[in-house]
């Protein structure tokens, strides 16, 4: 079980690194999908099959599809890749990389001192437990999140609708 976990975690970390270093936007998104799938497997290993399934359905299957969709629609060619390669100069990433490395070091030290054995033997969290937790203890947060999403939806609709002109009607038919 530990081997699977470390293997999956390595894949997740490598894929996430590739998201940053890929020069082609679509390739970067593909690595991000791999990273999300790896995260789902880690959820499953930690005894949360429901969260794992939702991770794949919602993040990998729906949100990332929309991102790929937008990138595809922009249809950037080699020019974008060239531009991206100019952005990744050492002087722009060296500072953040050092700071992030310090954080990583802290995380490793913390994990080491905690002995990191809490995850073993955790009981499985199914759909029922997640549902009960969402609609009892966290109901306020759930409602707030849904209000926020609703506001976002209405706002997006308002922005995209534009003025009622003939061209808007025609755009609607595409």
Query: Which residues form the interface with another protein (CB under 8 A)?
Result: 24, 26-27, 30, 33, 49-50, 52-54, 56-57, 60-62, 65-66, 68-69, 72-73, 75, 124, 126-127, 172-174
Q: Minimum distance from CB of 49 to another protein (Å)?
A: 5
**Phi-psi sector, 89: left (phi>0), alpha (psi -120 to 50), beta:** beta
Q: Which is nearer to another protein, 7 or 26 (CB)?
A: 26
Q: Minimum distance from CB of 129 to another protein (Å)?
A: 12
- 25 and 85 Cβ atoms separated by less than 8 Å: no
Contacts 24+ apart (CB under 8 A), 73-76: 76/25
Q: Minimum distance from CB of 30 to another protein (Å)?
A: 7
> What are the backbone dihedrals phi and psi of residue 22, each rounded to the nearest 5 degrees, phi first?
-65, 140
Indicate the length of the chain as a whole number: 174
Q: Which is nearer to another protein, 75 or 165 (CB)?
A: 75
């Amino acid at each position: 079980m530990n081997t699977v976990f470390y293997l999956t975690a390595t894949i997740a970390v490598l894929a996430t690194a590739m998201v940053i270093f890929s020069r082609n936007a679509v390739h970067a998104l593909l690595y991000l999908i791999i990273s999300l799938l790896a995260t789902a497997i880690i959820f499953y290993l930690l005894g949360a099959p429901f969260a794992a399934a939702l991770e794949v359905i919602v993040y990998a299957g729906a949100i990332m599809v929309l991102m790929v969709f937008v990138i595809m629609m922009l249809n950037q060619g080699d020019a974008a890749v060239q531009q991206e390669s100019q952005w990744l100069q050492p002087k722009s990433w060296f500072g953040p990389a050092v700071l992030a490395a310090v954080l990583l070091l802290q995380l490793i030290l913390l994990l080491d001192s905690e002995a990191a054995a809490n995850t073993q033997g955790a009981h499985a969290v199914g759909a029922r437990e997640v549902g009960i937790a969402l609609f009892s203890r966290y109901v306020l947060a759930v409602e707030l999140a849904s209000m926020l999403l609703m506001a976002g939806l209405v706002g997006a609709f308002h922005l995209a609708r534009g003025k009622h002109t003939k061209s808007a009607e025609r755009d609607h038919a595409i």
